[in-house]
Amino acid sequence: MRNFPAFFCVVNLSAVLILSLAGLAHTDDWPQWRGKQRDGQWNESATLKKLTPQNLKTLWRQPIGAGYSGPTVADGRVYVTGRNEKPTQQETINCFDAKTGKPIWDITYPSIYTVGYTAGPRASVTVEQNRAYALGAMGMLHCVKADDGEVIWKKDLDAQYSISKSKRMPIWGIACSPIIYGDTVVIVVGGDEGAALVAFNKKTGDEVWRCLDDPIQYSSPVLTSQNGNDVLVCWTGAAVVGLNPATGDTYWRHPFAPTRMPIGIATPIIKDGKIFLTSFYDGSMMLEMGTSDMTVKELWSARGPNERKTKALHSIISTPIWIEDHIYGVDSYGQLRCLRASDGQRIWESQKAVAQERWGTVHFVSHDDDVWMFNEQGEVIVGQLSPEGLTEISRVKIIEPTKPQLPKRKAGVCWSHPAFANRCIFARNDNEILCVDLSEDAE
């Protein structure tokens, strides 16, 4: 046998290792509302960019009950909630295998709706350390083992915190997705006696703290940092509040009360110490957190005279996306807009992303240099957003709109935020959930 120099063997072994690592594509989970950090950021590699009906493969689909809640994905499982009205009114928590769609477990429980828009649960399931936290529209909170659905603890928040009894139940129900902080899970409850927000021990369900007497809206809270402190930013029906997530104590508070009704749905977006908020009737507001103290100040706000004559951005459901010095979002009748972040000045407007309808909705997800948009017509749009406009790369329909979420819309809607995980998109309507392969090797 011929003897090769040792360095030759090392070089070839290194080459094999490099080639092997190059072939590995980064995959990630989507374990809560709007992804790992609640920021609409999708970080996976080796994914498709140019979408066509030919290169998109639906891996599986499964029937589910109606609902507004977006799917979440963690540890090879997909979680979604729904509602059925027959034979009785019930909410369901479903868990599916992420690769095959095979049902793993489900939990069904009675839930009598007294709220408007009865198509189903609103909040996405939050998954952490083999625990899944699911919150129903009437305040039924479950903590279950994520792998097998065994109930660890549960609470009827409506009964425990007198939400309906004290006439504090939002007209469209409980909608904010649970958020984990340390050993607690924080819920926007809306209860009386200072229980607008409540933190529970995430393992036992024991109450750790409660805070605020504010009415609540539908905007899920987010975590940020300020001067080395963790801050839970919550947009209530009265103000934007920065809380100490360990205690519930208020760091700062800025009024943003609705002029007509509590209707704030979009999640606050945060960049470089600034917080942007938008509401259907009340327009937009930009806040800036103090850099030397725990304060906040308003930089600008803009509100048009009505829902058709709007200023800046009057969004209903869509959470905008902030790219460099500009904010992009969908206005009251589906207008895709670009705003200058510094003052809210509108740079351009387009009707290309979604049909012109009242409450037109697009969900935005950032992926590398592109923005993936899922509109209410069930279309996925891949493109780029800049002060020059929308550059559309590709567009394809992956799921049919349905009518239970908005019966007034003839063609139906897809209002639920999709999940991006395992190089797939997981989307749902009121009849089914499906998984579409987005990996490069799917072509």
Instruction: Encode pLDDT of 261-299 as tens digits.
Output: 999 999 999 999 999 999 999 999 999 999 999 999 999
- In this predicted structure, what is the pLDDT of residue 282? 97
Three-state DSSP class for residue 77: strand
Residue 2: is its pLDDT beyond 50?
Answer: no
Question: For tokens 């019930």, what's the residue?
Answer: 90
Q: How confident is the model at residue 27 (pLDDT cuts 50, 70, 90)?
A: confident
Which two tokens mark 100? 């095959």
pLDDT (average), residues 385-394: 98
Residue 443: band (very low, low, confident or very high) from pLDDT cuts 50, 70, 90 = low
Q: Which residues of 355-367 are buried (b: 16+ CB within 10 A; e: fewer)?
A: eebebbbbbbbbb
Task: Work out the widest C-alpha separation in the chain, in whole angstroms.
Answer: 88
Type of residue numbered 299: L
Q: Does the pLDDT of residue 326 top 90, yes or no? A: yes
Q: Which two tokens stand for residue 60?
A: 């599986």
First-to-final CA distance of the chain: 44
Query: With 50 as the cut, is the pLDDT of residue 25 above it?
Result: yes
Q: How far apart are CA 317 and CA 359, in angstroms?
A: 7
Q: Tens digits of per-residue pLDDT, 193-247?
A: 999 999 999 999 999 999 999 999 999 999 999 999 999 999 999 999 999 999 9
pLDDT value of position 442? 60
Q: Determine the pLDDT at residue 15.
A: 39
Question: Mean pLDDT over all residues of the chain?
Answer: 94
| 22 — pLDDT class (breaks 50, 70, 90) | very low
Residue 64: per-residue pLDDT: 98
Mean pLDDT for 19-30 is 60
What Å distances lie between residue 197 and 100, 179, 207, 253, 254, CA to CA? 38, 11, 11, 15, 17
The string of pLDDT tens digits covering residues 65-84 is 999 999 999 999 999 999 99
**Domains defined for the chain, CATH in brackets:** 30-442 (2.130.10.10)
pLDDT of residue 8: 33
pTM: 0.93
